[in-house]
Structure 1
Amino acid sequence: MDTLLDFIKKYYYWLLFIILEVISMIILFQNNSYQGSVWFTSANTVAGTINGWYTEVISYIQLKDVNKQLTSENIYLQKQVADLRRALDETLTETTPNDKVIADSLKGFKLIPASVVSNSLYKENNYIIIDKGEVDGIKTDMGVVGGGGIVGIVYLTGPHYSLVMPTININSNISCRVRHSNYFGYLQWSGGSVNHAFLNDIPHYAHVKIGDYVETSGYSSVFPSGLFVGKVTKISNAPDGISLQLNVNLGTDFSRLKDVNVIYNTCKPETDTLRVRFNRAGL
């Protein structure tokens, strides 16, 4: 209290000056319409600028959540487009109207959002680490997708983190097909550019052209069919000489990959059980 009184005694003339200035400004603006309008306009301009800055800062902070939401929605849309395209093809080839309704394009699949915390780009055995693990329901052999297309397959899991084998790993081998056809092969990467991979085992008689889209075939329990993989940029003979090798420009930009989704196939336990029973039967 004594310190406050000493401060007021020491600077009372400055405090008195400020108080009188404020009073004079109030009287000036209240009794003079022109000065009052100038003050009101200036105050609104300053307040508007500050509010604009605040809105931009809040929007920037929320971009991460918005990006995650858009990534998940993009994956759902890819699957819906694939299902609708397949339904349209069936309608055009059948003599009677197609009465199938695409009620739930991702039936049997669940998306678990995750973020990339580490990845490698310049190795033969590249990997990606995501911030979701066993406590989040992640298991090995689950597919991983991003906003640009497929990313890879979960290879190792820990309690809170998982390691993903991406398509840009020389051991990656994912069943894919050329869109609008039933010709499928295996997407593989031989090193080098992280923007390209090869689709092998496509028969010579397949009608494939540069610019065709490559998507997941759905012939495994890892990925549903119709998820975007990339575009064909070159067609050549495979090393075995009996099939085609397609150079595929991958849709996923691994150098900027941040938000992904892990695909949980709710039907996989049942199909795995059937495979085990088949193997035990020795057929």
Structure 2
Amino acid sequence: MSELLKFFVKYSSWFLFALYLVAGFALLFSRNPFQHHVFLSSANIIASGVYNTTHNVTSYFSLRDINEDLQARISELELENYMLKNHLRAEREKIYADTMTVDSALTRYHFLIAHVINNSINHSHNYITIEKGRLDGIEPEMGVIDQNGIVGIVNVVGDHTARLISVLNPYLRLSCKVKGEDQVGSLVWDGRDPGEAILEELPKHAKFVKGDTVVTSGYSSVFPEGVPVGTILSGSRDREDNFYTLRIKLFTDFSTLSTVRVIRDNMKEELAEVEKDIEIKNIN
């Protein structure tokens, strides 16, 4: 207690000064309207600043919590979206497999659905990569089509992916004919337009008109007979030539290629064995 009294005695002058100062301000702001107004305005500004700062700090932490909740919800929605996409993709594949362009009576053939993961159309020799491979039943020399027409032929196969020689590649030649006719020509891309190709070596007695449909001939185990290729844009033949050259508008839009069907010929091995036997006999 004595120490406390000593403290007040020691600093009594400061306490007295503070008391006079408070009393002076009280008299000043209570008796003078202008100073009273200034005081209240200043107090309001200070209080408002303190309140805004407190509110901003509180809002920041609240927003952080809200942001975390939103992120969690977005993650849940993305997962739901991914699951729905997979479900829709499976349903589309099921429907897609049932909408075959070729005759459904051709049970000799089986179709494997695959998605395009790489595709070129602007090079001189174009290739396509699909996300199905050896483990999915893909083999070299399988034909590939989409819902509109021919796409290419498998030439390189990995465990999970495969590469196709695109129709837009002059290395690829396909046996085709005018629908309803027997004469066969060779379809090849001339490198000019990714939407067009050339049907060469069509015999001069073949009958056709502009707009006729060109289809695969079926003279191989790669494509069934009758797979749509395109329509005739024009035809020409030199006087001294016994063959027509037709320009074909392709049905397949290679710029939007996304889902394809790989054709498995269930008689391929049998045909290979028979043709091998024929080759041996011809050699002998």
Do they superpose with TM above 0.5?
yes
Find the counterpart in structure 2 of residue 208 from structure 1.
Answer: 208
Find the counterpart in structure 2 of residue 147 from structure 1.
Answer: 147
> Residue 279 of structure 1: CA displacement?
2.2
Q: Aligned equivalents of 1:239 and 1:120: distance in 2?
A: 37
Structure 1 residue ranges without an equivalent (≥5):
1-55, 81-103
Q: Could you say what secondary structure the match of 2:220 adopts?
A: coil
> Residue 74 of structure 1: CA displacement?
2.9
Find the counterpart in structure 1 of residue 99 from structure 2.
Answer: 74
Could you give the per-residue CA deviations for residues 11-66 of structure 1, whole angstroms, max 9, x where no partner exists? Answer: xxxxxxxxxxxxxxxxxxxxxxxxxxxxxxxxxxxxxxxxxxxxx99987755445
Q: Could you say what secondary structure the match of 2:122 adopts?
A: coil
Amino acid at match of 2:213: Y
Find the counterpart in structure 2 of residue 193 from structure 1.
Answer: 193
Q: Could you say what secondary structure the match of 2:139 adopts?
A: coil
State the percentage of identical aligned residues: 33
Q: Aligned equivalents of 2:249 and 2:238: distance in 1?
A: 17
Mapping of residues 133-172 of structure 1, within 5 Å = 133-172=133-172
> Residue 184 of structure 1: CA displacement?
1.3
> Residue 232 of structure 1: CA displacement?
0.5
Q: TM (normalized to structure 2)?
A: 0.67
Distance 1:265 1:230, change over 3 A: same
Distance 1:112 1:268, change over 3 A: same
Q: Aligned equivalents of 1:280 and 1:129: distance in 2?
A: 36
Could you give the per-residue CA deviations for residues 233-272 of structure 1, whole angstroms, max 9, x where no partner exists? Answer: 1111269832101111001100000000100001000111
> Residue 277 of structure 1: CA displacement?
2.0
Q: Aligned equivalents of 1:239 and 1:167: distance in 2?
A: 29
Amino acid at match of 2:102: K
Residue 253 of structure 2 corresponds to residue 277 of structure 1: no
Mapping of residues 35-54 of structure 1, within 5 Å = none
Aligned length: 204
Report the structure number with the largest CA radius of gyration: 2
Contact preservation (8 Å) 1:238, 1:245: no
Find the counterpart in structure 2 of residue 109 from structure 1.
Answer: 109
Q: Could you say what secondary structure the match of 1:194 adopts?
A: coil
Q: Aligned equivalents of 1:253 and 1:148: distance in 2?
A: 8
Amino acid at match of 1:164: L
> Residue 106 of structure 1: CA displacement?
2.0
Contact preservation (8 Å) 1:170, 1:191: yes
Q: Aligned equivalents of 1:190 and 1:126: distance in 2?
A: 12
Find the counterpart in structure 2 of residue 121 from structure 1.
Answer: 121
> Residue 228 of structure 1: CA displacement?
0.7
Q: Aligned equivalents of 2:238 and 2:90: distance in 1?
A: 43
Contact preservation (8 Å) 1:72, 1:147: no
Residue 267 of structure 2 corresponds to residue 264 of structure 1: no
Find the counterpart in structure 2 of residue 16 from structure 1.
Answer: none
Q: Aligned equivalents of 2:84 and 2:136: distance in 1?
A: 28
Distance 1:224 1:183, change over 3 A: same
Distance 1:233 1:69, change over 3 A: farther
Amino acid at match of 1:79: V
> Residue 69 of structure 1: CA displacement?
3.7
Q: Could you say what secondary structure the match of 1:79 adopts?
A: coil
> Residue 202 of structure 1: CA displacement?
1.1
Q: Aligned equivalents of 2:171 and 2:181: distance in 1?
A: 26
Structure 2 residue ranges without an equivalent (≥5):
1-80
Contact preservation (8 Å) 1:120, 1:128: yes
Moved more, 197-206 or 111-120: 197-206
Q: TM (normalized to structure 1)?
A: 0.67
Amino acid at match of 2:160: H
Distance 1:240 1:187, change over 3 A: farther
Amino acid at match of 1:128: I
Amino acid at match of 2:98: E
Amino acid at match of 1:68: E
Q: Could you say what secondary structure the match of 2:236 adopts?
A: strand
Amino acid at match of 2:256: R
